[in-house]
Structure 1
Amino acid sequence: MVVLSPATAENWRDIARVRPLESQSEWVAEPTYYLCLSAYDGLWRSCAVRTEDGTTVGHVMWAVDPDDDSHWIGGLVIDAERQGEGLGRATVEALLTLWEREEPSLSGTEYREAALSVSAGNEVALGLYRSLGFIETGELSDDEIVLRRPRP
């Protein structure tokens, strides 16, 4: 349903055009912020979320935590015009599948556990991640609830 493509000089403008719903602005940043994190922070890797016909419909980034080698998902934004189509779920599933098939060749780290953080008030995202097998750990990251999912 979706294809993840690393952010590049050729596709970053398409990613930058993605806009979340206005009501989501308290929980997610504009994709340009996430692109900058990936380009300059040295930890995160941004990806375009594309449909099978090549249309860019979102952004997601991932990183490996150097402290515990968990694989983190961040910056998941699906364009407002394409929400409600299952693209957020498909994006998370595609990323988990990528790690299961490709690691450790992508990051040099074996994939054992996925992690992410969500604002407590973001019930839609919490519901999505719980339905995908993520479990709250009691940890907080920047005032957000941390959820983890062991590799099946």
Structure 2
Amino acid sequence: MVVLTPANADNWRAIARVRAAAGQREWVADSTYYLCLSAYGDLWRSYAVEADGATVGHVMWAVDPDDGSHWIGGLVIDSEHQRRGLGRATVQALLDLWEREEPSLSGTPYREAALSVSPDNQAAIGLYRSLGFVETGEMEDDEIVLRRPRA
């Protein structure tokens, strides 16, 4: 359903045009912020989320240098493409990518996925729980942490 393509010179403009729905902007940053974190930091990797030949979202991931867990961040599906299961498909595609390709992508074996989400973003929490993520009691920047062991 979705294809994940690393951000590059050919697709960064399309990624930068991705906009969350108005009611979601309190929980996510603009995709340009996430692109900059990936381009100018040394941790995150940005990917275009593509469906039906169009860029419909952004997601980034990183490996926690302290515990080796694979983190999902910056997941934004464009407001015009929501309610089609693309968020779920994006998370699943990322988990599948790690299953197939790690440790060749990051040099770190894939053992556990992790993410953080605002405690009041019940739609996102429900999505992540339905994909097997479990709240751990940890907090990261005022967000709750959910983890999922490798299948």
Tell me if TM exceeds 0.5: yes
Aligned-pair identity in percent equals 77
* Alignment-derived partner of residue 10 in structure 2: 10
Q: Secondary structure at the match of 1:73?
A: strand
- The alignment's C-alpha RMSD in Å is 0.4
TM-score of the aligned structures, taking structure 1 as reference length? 0.99
Measure how far apart 1:56 and its partner are: 0.2
C-alpha separation in 2, matches of 1:40 and 1:54: 28
Q: Which runs of 5+ in 1 are unaligned?
A: none
* Alignment-derived partner of residue 106 in structure 2: 107
C-alpha separation in 2, matches of 1:133 and 1:35: 27
Q: Secondary structure at the match of 2:18?
A: coil
**Deviation string for 1:5-40 (max 9, x for gaps)?**
000011000000010000001100010000000011
Runs of 4 or more off by more than 6 Å in structure 1? Answer: none
* Alignment-derived partner of residue 145 in structure 1: 144
- Listed as ranges, the matches of 1:1-152 within 5 Å are 1-51=1-51, 53-152=52-151
TM-score of the aligned structures, taking structure 2 as reference length? 0.99
Q: Which runs of 5+ in 2 are unaligned?
A: none
